[in-house]
Structure 1
Amino acid sequence: MLARLALAFISFVSTFSLSMSSETDYLRFDQNDLPRLTEAGASHLASLALHCIGREYPNKIGHVMESDADQAPPRELHPAFYGCYDWHSSVHGHWMLIRLLKEFPELPEADKIRAAISQNLQPHKIQGEVDYMTPRTRKSFQRTYGWTWLLKLAEELKTWEDPQAREWATALQPLVDHIEALYIEFLPKQTYPIRTGVHPNTAFGLSFAWDYAHTLNRTELKAAIEEAALRYYSNDKNCPAHYEPSGSDFLSACLEEANLMQRILSPEKFADWYSEFLPQLPQILEEPATVTDRMDGQLVHLDGLNLSRAWCLAAIAQKLPPDSPHKKHLRQVAATHIQVTLPNIASGGYEGEHWLASFAVYALSVAGR
């Protein structure tokens, strides 16, 4: 079965050359035929994030102003995360660079990565981010998409035995503490989940936050997430996946929900829940979404949808029992989505390049488990 998964990737390895030579392979396959980025692939994806985390413009800020005094350029509003077009993309660009540096410590860009992150993850800059988010009018800033990526960044740092990473984690901690507190305060108030396919999606917002809480034994946060997830989703059946996708989705409402529940439930309970939630994967979720214009910041979201579908499908397949009739098929569909999308990560348009590499790295990390 794993060999079949690998075959789905091999057909595009030679085409995933992007700006480098056509002979360069960006993926390799381990002894279990699972896909892994090569150093060349990691180097190219890292270059995309390095290009944007210090790039202030163009910039889309979600800024609530209370007076003329609140007018300021992005670098002053967000001293640490001002680049990559928007706050959350800057955060997950930092996450991706750290993830790649952990896996490839001899990456050619290693010194540049360390310098760029050290410049941004400074205690006074992180305090500036906390100060920005503290006023009552900004308590919903980046809720919960940016929140969950920030916790994913913290998890990546805190699970790395590297002296510089420990410094960065210490600097980041006040913002981590602030976002933990925001989650714990907010979740009991959120009566209904948000089931959209873009940033506010509740299931996605809880998934990475649960990973952080589980990995670092943050018991209060983990309990709050599990209570909310069960309250929102435990009785869901027959998810209307045939309504997906909307025209600018980068998340699948149905698959993100299932991906959260595979974290929360035991394997046996999840298998029962999933059999009623998605008894059969609809054709619309099997076919990678079509992107007609990668210079359009909304239409290019659909490349991200393909990658996020892939990580959900791969994770769901991992949680299902070995005899599940869905397991093999979900892995194959996940592989197809990555196969179709990876060659488009570097499209020449900043609209996609400022964020899609992070999605690709995470999708490959799940598919390669």
Structure 2
Amino acid sequence: MSKKYKYISLILFPITLFINHIASKFPNLVEKYYSTWINKLTIEVLSKASGLIEFSLYEVIVYILIISMLIFLIRLILVFTKKHNVAKRILGNSILNILSTLSICYFLFILLWGINYNRLPLQTSLLNRYNLSNNTKIENVEYTNQDLKNLYKFLINKANETRFFTLQNKEGSMMANTNYKGIISRAQIGYNNISNIIPEVQGNYSNAKYIKSSKFMSYTGITGIYFPFTGEANINIDIPDIYIPCTVIHEMAHQRGFASEDEANFIAYLASINHTDIDFNYSGYILALSHTASALRDADPSSYELLTSNISDSVRRDLEYNNNYWENYNGKIREISDKFNNSYLKSNGVKDGTKSYGKMVDLLLAYYKLYPYDEN
């Protein structure tokens, strides 16, 4: 690409910012025409095309980027030690190339998927569907601290109950019904079973893909990542089994156009607990339990301590095993990754950044206000 076109490509950045800003003003239009139509068709085609290849194209691209950066740095250092002027010219051209590439990538990211950050909130969609089905006009759902305690109690009971029927290894930790490939191939069942609750999740998409370098991925604290340029939902398969099923479904929710982390978590919960297999059920309850525990601990520490004492020994072992796993991967890489993820979310209009993951509890409370569970 000539310098002229590189400079022209830089204009894409402010244009993209403008497009995203305009989209944020019209969530209903984004929902109706982009998320459930244009983007849906685009991602179905991308994911099916990339699905023809078994391995993750995202992972290959990451390898290529890392190797390219190392080669560039080595080349620059070698040239700089001999020819300062040549090194400065290479550096100047490289900066222009990088800025041009970033501008094009950001443009494609927003058009291919990023506008989904501006779609109608899932809670609003759930309310609209409930009102239509029940001939009501509920505009918002209110819940109390007692509702939060009841939710935590319910999730503890369900986690204890489903854990009793799961498999476990010699150390007493939960095991999935199959290996990670089996989990990935079974995940769609959960989506089929919630099509009546959230019809937007249906579609013809490829299966999620596992990351071969999952151990390295754990150093970043990432359990999965959706890559909009290829339509791939990528999964860290090195994490404990209790979180692999819900992680697969979480990333598939992103693949289906739900950009918000709390919404993807909520969808992962619903699809998991409505799955036909017990390992998915348990994984879903554990996902919701962990988020609800954090919310109740902040809101009512004494009630949190009291209710937590009801968690079964087997569930405690699983949670402890998960905590011990992640302690092995704490470090600078994870700290940098967390900061990057926080900045990424905020740059896409998620004001709370990584704190938005906790907003899943609001969706759970709203959902169970509309569709009450048996608290006994």
Place the TM-score, normalised by the shorter chain, in its bin.
under 0.3
Structure with greater helix share of residues: 2
TM value normalised by structure 2:
0.26
TM value normalised by structure 1:
0.27
Q: Which has the larger radius of gyration?
A: 2
